[in-house]
Amino acid sequence: MDFGAQYAQLIARRVRECHVYSEIVPWNTPVAELIARRPTAIILSGGPKSVYSPGAPRVDPALFDAGIPVLGICYGHQVITQALGGTVDRTDAAEYGATRLTVTRPGVLLRDLPVEQQVWMSHGDSVTAAPDGFTVTAATPSTPVAAFEDVSRALFGVQFHPEVLHTEHGMEVLRRFLLHGAGARPSWTMVNIVDEAVGAVRAQVGDAKLICGLSGGVDSAVAAALVHRAVGDALTCVFVDHGLLRAGEAEQVERDFVASTGVELVHIKAADRFAAALAGVTDPEQKRKIIGREFIRVFEEAARELEARAEAAGSRIEYLVQGTLYPDVIESGSPDAAKIKSHHNVGGLPDDLQFGLVEPLRTLFKDEVRRLGEELGLPEEIVWRQPFPGPGLAVRIIGEVTPERLEIVRAADQIVRDEIRRAGLDREIWQVFAVLLADVRSVGVQGDERTYGHPIVLRAVTSEDAMTADWARLPANVLERISNRVVNEVPQINRVVYDITSKPPGTIEWE
């Protein structure tokens, strides 16, 4: 249950890392609806409010009589306390960051764990008296009730955040709750996920025909491979090459993806059409809109052609496969965010295409999708590919997009990725790429000659989910090699600068 936590998705992912399936629901989901879904257990997340502030999210106390095991984390710990008659106080002792926890009575959650351990805290209010029937199991120097449990009712609470890595034994605490406190079975494994998903797709589509738009990214590739495993040749993939891809990507889709899956692929080379539509355009939002629009048109034409072909053969295309992931469908506890950029995906197709949707990854997180891709035998280059925006290199050229500028940024990007891979950093870094400042020039000197070239910006970030990000502390020797190679091998570039802005306030991409 999401009370507006920063960490709600992280909690859900950690639960799945314990091989227990999890979903996120908003805090105001009616208890009857929750019970009807027959959860094995419920976790109440943290949240930004004080339980005493006006309008603070609460739960119906009936939840605690439903016989469903509950773990409250941070704000959730306080919600349990308040609902069941304990005391939450605004003490002067706010705790933020690493804190020493002392286990006073091990109970179920802290059994066999060290008496002293580091936990991660982030709270102002504290529980000062546990509700009747609860045993206090741990304290910190300023929080007397840092953990409690009532084993007879299977209700548990922790003030600290077991989901964050800085909590030394956080995963063990979660696992103890799930397996021992709630009696969950650890059956959420990749093999089961593949079997279930294949069965679900077969049940949904029967012997109908399907199409899938491939973007070159991991999500659509895994969705297509999974559906192909389920329905074989009833699936046709359409790959629209808009000419804005990274070096080698189009070939990789055509060669490696087809080789590893045997999918039928229609490859549409539309680079000229996109280049013409983008000529003279410099505004980032306009670029995004044009690319989205052209993409839909090209895809639509291809789909209509395939439809006509299927009809001539006496069948119809009834479904469109999409690589929608769980984070896109979560109904979160927080209000809608302001629109920062118009994201372009293969989705957003016009209604008159009239396909049913098949979204086999709708319940999965990105890391699960990657593991699923491995399980399905997709090549590492596809499965471990870094996220890449739908509008491609167009949003990495600041200024007008031209074929020459695309060549420049593509060449620089290839060097950057190459060096990061050689340094063994590609899985640690969420995204790394080059941005071309196409309308900026600076003076340099190379081989005793004056140069007047463009800078590229090197952008490398670490992130869990792209919602927030930090600039990566790349080793100086890696930065040096990238800089040397780019200015030596890409003649139009004479300067490399490193972007040291986090998100927020920056975004990951420059446009």
Q: Which residues does the annotation place in the binding site?
A: 215-221
Q: Which of residues 45-84 bind ligand XMP (CB under 6 A)?
A: none
Q: How far is 3 from 73, CA to CA, in rounded Å?
A: 10
Query: Per-residue string for binding with ligand XMP, 407-446, x by CB under 6 A?
Result: ------------------------x---------------
Residue written as token pair 């060449």: 411
Examine residue 344 and tell whether it contacts ligand XMP (CB under 6 A): yes
Can residue 341 be called a binding residue for ligand XMP (CB under 6 A)? yes
The answer to whether 204 touches 354, Cβ cutoff 8 Å, is no
The answer to whether residue 74 is catalytic is yes
Closest to ligand XMP by CB, 210 vs 395, is: 395
CA distance linking residue 108 with residue 39, whole number of Å: 20
Which listed residue (95, 123, 149, 161) is catalytic?
A: 161
Min dist. Cβ of residue 343 to ligand XMP (A): 4
Query: Is residue 289 at the binding interface for ligand XMP, with CB under 6 A as the rule?
Result: no
Residue 479, Cβ density class (10 Å: 0-12 exposed, 13-18 middle, ≥19 buried): middle
Q: Is beta strand 442-446 parallel, antiparallel or unpaired with respect to 449-462?
A: antiparallel
Looking at 95, 163, 294, 511, which residue is catalytic? Answer: 163
CB of 382 to ligand XMP, least distance (A): 16
Identity of residue 101: L
DSSP state letter for 387 = P
Size of the site for ligand XMP (CB under 6 A): 15
Rounded to an integer, what distance in angstroms lies between the CA atom of residue 92 and that of residue 410? 55
Q: How far is CA 322 from the centre of its chain?
A: 16
**Distance of alpha carbon 266 from alpha carbon 50, whole angstroms:** 55
Q: Is 390 in the site for ligand XMP (CB under 6 A)?
A: yes
- Smallest gap, in angstroms, from Cβ of residue 217 to ligand XMP? 7
**Could you say which of 260, 315, 451, 507 contacts ligand XMP (CB under 6 A)?**
507
Which entry of 74, 249, 344, 368 is annotated as an active-site residue? 74
Q: Which of 46, 69, 360, 391 binds ligand XMP (CB under 6 A)?
A: 391
Nearer to ligand XMP, 41 or 346 (CB): 346
Rounded distance, CA 366 to CA 363, Å? 10
**Contact partners, residue 238, CB within 8 Å, separation at least 6:** 211, 212, 213, 214, 265, 266, 268, 299, 302, 303, 306
For residue 451, the minimal CB distance to ligand XMP (Å) is 30
Q: Is 249 in the site for ligand XMP (CB under 6 A)?
A: no
Asked if residue 457 binds ligand XMP (CB under 6 A), the reply is no
Alpha carbon 25 to chain centroid, angstroms: 17
Q: How far is the CB of 325 from ligand XMP (least distance, A)?
A: 11
- Beta-strand runs (E) in 391-475: 397-398, 431-437, 442-446, 449-462, 470-471
Residue span 162-181 as binding mask against ligand XMP, x where in contact by CB under 6 A, dash where not: --------------------
Q: Which of 143, 345, 483, 494 binds ligand XMP (CB under 6 A)?
A: 345
Measured distance CA(6)–CA(47) in Å, rounded: 7
475 lines the binding site for ligand XMP (CB under 6 A): no
161 has catalytic annotation: yes
Q: Does 508 bind ligand XMP (CB under 6 A)?
A: yes
Question: Cα–Cα distances in Å, from 66 out to 9, 20, 35, 174?
Answer: 25, 21, 7, 21
Residue 289 CB, shortest distance to ligand XMP, in Å, is 11
Coil vs helix vs strand at 382 = helix
Q: Is 169 a catalytic residue?
A: no
Please identify, using beta-carbon distances, which residue of 142 and 502 lies nearer to ligand XMP.
502
Question: Residue ranges for the binding site for ATP?
Answer: 215-221
Task: Report, in Å, the least distance between residue 391 CB and ligand XMP.
Answer: 5
Nearest to 45 by CA among 27, 66, 21, 65: 27
Which residues of the chain form contacts with ligand XMP (CB under 6 A)? 340-341, 343-345, 387, 389-391, 431, 466, 503, 507-509
Positions marked catalytic: 74, 161, 163
